[in-house]
Structure 1
Amino acid sequence: LSLLFGIVTGISIPEGILISAGIVVIYTFLGGMWAISITDFIQTIMIVLGLIVVAVLVTKDAGGVDVILASATAESFQFFPDAGFDSWINYFGAWIIIGLGSIPSQDIYQRVMSAKSEKVAVHSTYLAGGFYLTFGLLPLFIALGAKALYPELYLENKQLMLPSMVLAHGGLPVQIIFFGALISAIMSTASSGMLAPAALISENLIKPLFKDRLTDKQLLWTLRFSVLGVAILAVWMALQDSNIYELVAGASILMLVSLFVPLTTGLYWKKSSKIGAMLAMIVGMLTYLIVDSLEPEIYSHVYGLVASGIAMLIGSLLFPNKPQVNHELS
């Protein structure tokens, strides 16, 4: 978001980071999940409209869909990997980073638990998956259009390619729609990203320390101050000049190798135990970090996921949960 502020207004990146963080913190701090739901709904509409308009204009300027597709390399439409065991394992590994790594994400369960009913939650999940397969392809198509129209900009700076293209060749109405959609998407992600860890900190870490003696008002203010703390940490990370793509992928990988197996087995395997879950998280994380430092041919998070599963199996079988005693009956 700070990069967009810098492009549009000319302010420095650190100033843009502080301004953007302040905007997101204010409505997340005051409104919580309800504010995020309302803003997400409006922002999603802006995102879809902006992407459609930009895609249509890019197609028109490039001379049609055929011209754009013809400019793409053959590898752009290769759905399956090359032959070989390592290629297929890495292909699977690329899918599971977001496909499975996002499942334990707290912001997903915030939305599920906030749904009006179980039916609404289920249907919303399927609807979101459909959006991924339709509207989610528009940015990829626009990127191919950028390659056909402006090869000098293509992949020179992945984070600024589309904004630079719109500023250089789009009129003011197109710029308003595009940047409005892009800023909306970033703000939506940022607000969810701050509320999710803040909820875990206040509910799972701070609240148990007080033996459930916190009132609802006190817990609310604990959550709000947690949002502020997470925002400060996020600003510090942004000032380290980190790449957004690497941060997103890294976050999903960490959840994949540490949380996916305990969550899944806890839901569907009756013999899963607490010790097994802890071992799965620790062993999966350590295996990923160690293997990643060795730079193997197969993605390191694949080793971490397998190790997490093995640790969960062994830990649960060797250290099963103790049977709970019904004190009322005894």
Structure 2
Amino acid sequence: MVASTATFAMYFVAMVAIGLWVYKRTTSLSDFVLGGRQLNSWVAGLSANASDFSAWLLLGLPGAIYLSGLGEAWIAVGLAIGFAASWYLIAGRLRVYTERATDARNGGESNSLTLSSYLENRFGDHSGVLRGASAILILLFYLFYVASGLVAMGGLFEKVFDMPSAVAIIVGVSIVVLYTFLGGFLAVSYTDVIQAVMMWLALLVVPIVAIIVVMTDPSAGHEVDFGSMLGGVEGTNLGDALAPIAIISGLAWGIGYLGQPHILARFMGIRSAKAVPQAAVISVGWAVTAMALALLVGFTGVVFFDTPLEDAEQVFPSLISALMNPWVAGLLLAAILAAVMSTADSQLLVASSAITEDGYRAFVNREASPMKLVWISRAAVVGVAVAAAAIALSGNQTIMELVGYAWAGFGAGFGPVILLSLYWRKMNRGGALAGMVGGGATAVIWTELDARVMHTDLYAMVPAVVVSLIAIAVFNNLGRASQQMEDDFDRVDGEAKATV
């Protein structure tokens, strides 16, 4: 208890210190939301990883593998493909387009700070409907996404400190809010680098030590049965892991990367499109190896624990507690906390940006001073955190359920729209709005309908993306792209190709 408390305290102090360090450098909404677009390749790449993989990587994925076996590994395969695709298909073009698209309200280059403002400027939407609808989707799904992190945080504190889950959620969210409140995007990005390193090292060390113990300590009585190991503790039939529904649903998770605002924000905040290729190598390399190690953690847990764990998503913390001395265990458990916090802070920041840039500034006070917008964003961070904490405290959903719900909503609601907006010259506002609403709504409806009526186990991402693409194709025919939109596309297309 003393060792864990000391290591957790040092970690908290380091995160808040970074927030204080960049506090005085945050003087405008651009600084708070995108860090003035000054991230180098290393910071952008590792920050994208830490803000993305969260507790899902250290708790959700190992837990799913531990429980159900090889069938859940398709999710990791799909995510690896999707993550690489987001860097190579979207990052460079989005970085250029968010800066170069003509401002739909004032003319001239836009310097779009949020995904919603980018969509408004890309499609020349003077009505504000596209911006408002996208901001609402962002807020809706981020409440569930942040809540998933808080559920993980509650479980971790409950295990380590024997602290009630509700108290743990309140303590944890308070720390995240504090340094996000102080430093905004730069604080979040710099802390993400530390958190990414901690997460990867923890995933490397724990399964290696566990495998050594299993192979060299006969007195422990661990029996290695690869058939049983691959089926998880539930003994899932390996034939089920190769079923079309399992493969399609798992691989479909990768599509989600095309529409996650907290990851796309790293693409928008990188120093220039020329820095994208190096950042992509760093980020994709980290992601692929980290997910492979997370799978190994789950399989190792099946062999190591003779009695099945009550909570499968605690397999990684349980291995740490069983294998490590208290001081090392404290550092490794802090890595799990890092995973939770690194995603929650990014999501809080994007959600607060939607309230400030796409709500207050766009529809209430367009002439607000830079510092007033910063303080409104800080207040929004607190508001979103309180709402997400309420969701986390109100139910018993697992981390995988909450993440899956939000991931499908973002992936289908924004993924097809963002991808086509970067590559389709003739795409217009009607297609973008229909694709966004159709995809996001289908993700919600399918999740509930399948759970209660159909029971197909098909991940909502699949039908939701199909609906989004059909809606874009149909409604795009009802309007047309303006000459200004086509000129913007040609200019961005030329600049993006020149940086490859």
TM-score grouping bracket, smaller chain normalisation: 0.7 to 0.9
3-state SS of paired residue (1:188): helix
* CA 79–212 in structure 1, closer or farther in 2 if over 3 Å, else same: farther
- 1:224-243 mapped onto 2 (5 Å cutoff): 224-241=378-395, 242-243=397-398
**Partner AA of 2:303 in structure 1:** A
Partner of 2:288: 133
3-state SS of paired residue (1:101): helix
**Partner AA of 1:113 in structure 2:** M
Partner of 1:40: 192
> Is residue 17 from structure 1 mapped to residue 169 from structure 2 by the alignment?
yes
8 Å Cα contact 1:59/1:68 also seen in 2: no
8 Å Cα contact 2:230/2:299 also seen in 1: no
> Is residue 197 from structure 1 mapped to residue 351 from structure 2 by the alignment?
yes
> Is residue 95 from structure 1 mapped to residue 251 from structure 2 by the alignment?
yes
Partner of 1:177: 331
Partner of 2:364: 210
Measure, in 2, the Cα distance between the counterparts of 1:117 and 1:305: 30
> Which range is displaced more, 129-138 or 285-294?
285-294
Measure, in 1, the Cα distance between the counterparts of 2:196 and 2:240: 31
Measure, in 2, the Cα distance between the counterparts of 1:79 and 1:106: 36
8 Å Cα contact 2:260/2:415 also seen in 1: no
* CA 301–111 in structure 1, closer or farther in 2 if over 3 Å, else same: closer
Instruction: Give the counterpart of 1:110 among 246, 265, 268.
Output: 265
CA RMSD of aligned residues (A): 2.6
* CA 138–72 in structure 1, closer or farther in 2 if over 3 Å, else same: farther
Deviation of residue 81 (structure 1)?
6.1
> Which protein is richer in helix relative to its size?
2
Measure, in 1, the Cα distance between the counterparts of 2:363 and 2:334: 43
> Is residue 266 from structure 1 mapped to residue 421 from structure 2 by the alignment?
yes
Measure, in 2, the Cα distance between the counterparts of 1:120 and 1:80: 43
> Is residue 62 from structure 1 mapped to residue 214 from structure 2 by the alignment?
yes
Measure, in 2, the Cα distance between the counterparts of 1:183 and 1:286: 32
* CA 209–280 in structure 1, closer or farther in 2 if over 3 Å, else same: same
Measure, in 2, the Cα distance between the counterparts of 1:29 and 1:290: 34
Deviation of residue 118 (structure 1)?
1.9
> Is residue 317 from structure 1 mapped to residue 477 from structure 2 by the alignment?
yes
3-state SS of paired residue (2:420): helix
> Is residue 302 from structure 1 mapped to residue 462 from structure 2 by the alignment?
yes
8 Å Cα contact 1:276/1:311 also seen in 2: yes
3-state SS of paired residue (1:153): coil
**Partner AA of 1:15 in structure 2:** V
* CA 107–300 in structure 1, closer or farther in 2 if over 3 Å, else same: closer
Deviation of residue 233 (structure 1)?
1.1
**Partner AA of 2:340 in structure 1:** I
Counting matched residue pairs gives 318
8 Å Cα contact 2:260/2:411 also seen in 1: no
> Which range is displaced more, 206-215 or 309-318?
206-215
Give percent identity, aligned residues only: 26
1:41-75 CA-partner distances (Å, limit 9, x unpaired): 112222222222212210111107xx768365456
8 Å Cα contact 2:229/2:302 also seen in 1: no
* CA 73–143 in structure 1, closer or farther in 2 if over 3 Å, else same: closer
**Partner AA of 1:151 in structure 2:** D
* CA 261–49 in structure 1, closer or farther in 2 if over 3 Å, else same: closer
3-state SS of paired residue (1:100): helix
Partner of 2:201: 49
**Partner AA of 2:367 in structure 1:** R
Partner of 1:328: none
8 Å Cα contact 1:284/1:308 also seen in 2: yes
* CA 137–68 in structure 1, closer or farther in 2 if over 3 Å, else same: farther
* CA 304–228 in structure 1, closer or farther in 2 if over 3 Å, else same: same
Deviation of residue 126 (structure 1)?
2.9
* CA 245–137 in structure 1, closer or farther in 2 if over 3 Å, else same: same
8 Å Cα contact 1:271/1:317 also seen in 2: no
Partner of 1:188: 342
8 Å Cα contact 1:262/1:280 also seen in 2: yes
Partner of 2:405: 250
Superposition TM-score, scaled by structure 1 size: 0.87
* CA 68–107 in structure 1, closer or farther in 2 if over 3 Å, else same: farther
Deviation of residue 79 (structure 1)?
11
1:271-324 CA-partner distances (Å, limit 9, x unpaired): 111111111122233444444414253444322211111110111112224555
Measure, in 2, the Cα distance between the counterparts of 1:288 and 1:3: 27
1:200-243 CA-partner distances (Å, limit 9, x unpaired): 22111111123520111011111111111111111111102332
Deviation of residue 6 (structure 1)?
1.7
8 Å Cα contact 1:257/1:304 also seen in 2: yes
Measure, in 2, the Cα distance between the counterparts of 1:324 and 1:121: 27
